C-alpha cells in the first residue's frame, strides 16, 4: 500500500517515482490517497481488506505530522510501515530510506541565521 497526500505536488511526484521503480521490479503497488488526517483509519481499513502487509508513506505535511498515528495504526494492524524520513522509525515504523527532516530544518535555520 502506498499512502500519499492527494493535494501535495511533492507527494504525487513520489508516487510516480515509486510506481516506476515497482514496475521495474515486477511489484504491484496499490495507491491510497488521503486528503486529511481523518482519512488514515479508512486507509488502513481498505488496506486490511486488500491484505496489505506493508505501507509505504510518501512525504507531505499532513502525513509527516501524523506519523505517530500512522505507525501506531500499523503496529495495531501488525503491518510494516516504511517512509522517507527517520522520524517514522522513531515513531515505531520499520525503516526509513532518507534523512531526518528535523535535522534538515535545524541546519536550514542555522544557514538563515
In whole angstroms, give the CA distance from residue 93 to residue 106: 23
State residue 99's pLDDT score.
Answer: 65
Q: Which domains does the chain have, with CATH numbers?
A: 2-112 (3.40.50.2300)
pLDDT in tens, 37-92: 999 999 999 999 999 999 999 989 899 999 999 999 999 999 999 998 888 888 98
- Cβ atoms of residues 81 and 58 within 8 Å: no
- Could you give the angle at the alpha carbon of 76 between the alpha carbons of 81 and 32, nearest 5°? 50
- Could you give the angle at the alpha carbon of 83 between the alpha carbons of 6 and 109, nearest 5°? 90
The model carries a pTM of 0.82
Amino acid at each position: 500500500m502506498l499512502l500519499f497526500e492527494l493535494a501535495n505536488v511533492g507527494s504525487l511526484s513520489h508516487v510516480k517515482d515509486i510506481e516506476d521503480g515497482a514496475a521495474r521490479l515486477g511489484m504491484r503497488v496499490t495507491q491510497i490517497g488521503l486528503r486529511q488526517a481523518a482519512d488514515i483509519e479508512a486507509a488502513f481499513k481498505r488496506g486490511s481488506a486488500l491484505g496489505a502487509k506493508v505501507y509505504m508513506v510518501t512525504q507531505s505535511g499532513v502525513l509527516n505530522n501524523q506519523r505517530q498515528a500512522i505507525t501506531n495504526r500499523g503496529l495495531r494492524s501488525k503491518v510494516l510501515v516504511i517512509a522517507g524520513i527517520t522520524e517514522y522509525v522513531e515513531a515505531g515504523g520499520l525503516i526509513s530510506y532518507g534523512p531526518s527532516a528535523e535535522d534538515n530544518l535545524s541546519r536550514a535555520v542555522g544557514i538563515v541565521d
